Amino acid sequence: MLSREENELICRTGPGMPMGEFFRRFWLPVALAEEIPGPDCDPVRVQVLGEHLVLFRDTQGRPGLVDAYCPHRGAPLFFGRNEECGLRCVYHGWKFDVHGDCVDMPNVPEGETFKAKVKLQAYSVVEAGDLLWAYMGPADKKPPMPGFDWLGLPSTHRYVKKFRL
């Protein structure tokens, strides 16, 4: 039987928690690829390891997983416009790419120099096996993608679904 402290240790997966830091060292399936079907589609809210995030696909078709809230005023980026290779906040129009870099600040006079200082938390995302996989740990510790055989099979030879209980 686990003590309360031991149970808390293995069940808490948020940022900074021991199990959260452990799980962040692996590639995790975070969504079905069909949830963001094409370039500039609507963003999707996801919660992974206790973090509220937004998943989107940019104009070039690259998937991005970023913090759910704009660093400017905390507006939810889920309501943002997915346009021209970035997710634009509806509050003041700051736009972020799939790497979390601010690429446009229309309401800031010194926008060209200031936007280089603004960064949104973003995670690496890879599409494989009709799933979107994210790595949420330190960049220097990133492992290779899992080598599951079914990831290389055509979609007609696998069945991938999400169930909610």
Rg (CA), the chain: 17
Structure confidence at residue 164 (pLDDT): 81
Instruction: Give the whole-angstrom CA distance, residue 113 versus residue 122.
Output: 21
Q: What is the CATH architecture assignment of 32-136?
A: 3-layer Sandwich (2.102)
Domain ranges of the chain: 32-136
- Give the tokens for residue 122: 């973003």
Alpha helices in 18-83 (DSSP H): 18-23
**Which pLDDT does position 153 carry in this prediction?**
93
List Cα–Cα distances, 10 to 2, 20, 74, in angstroms. Answer: 10, 9, 30
| Per-residue pLDDT of the chain in tens (165 residues, 90 and over written 9) | 889 999 999 999 999 999 999 999 999 999 999 999 999 999 999 999 999 999 999 999 999 999 999 999 999 999 999 999 999 999 999 999 999 999 999 888 876 788 889 999 999 999 999 999 999 999 999 999 999 999 999 999 999 999 887
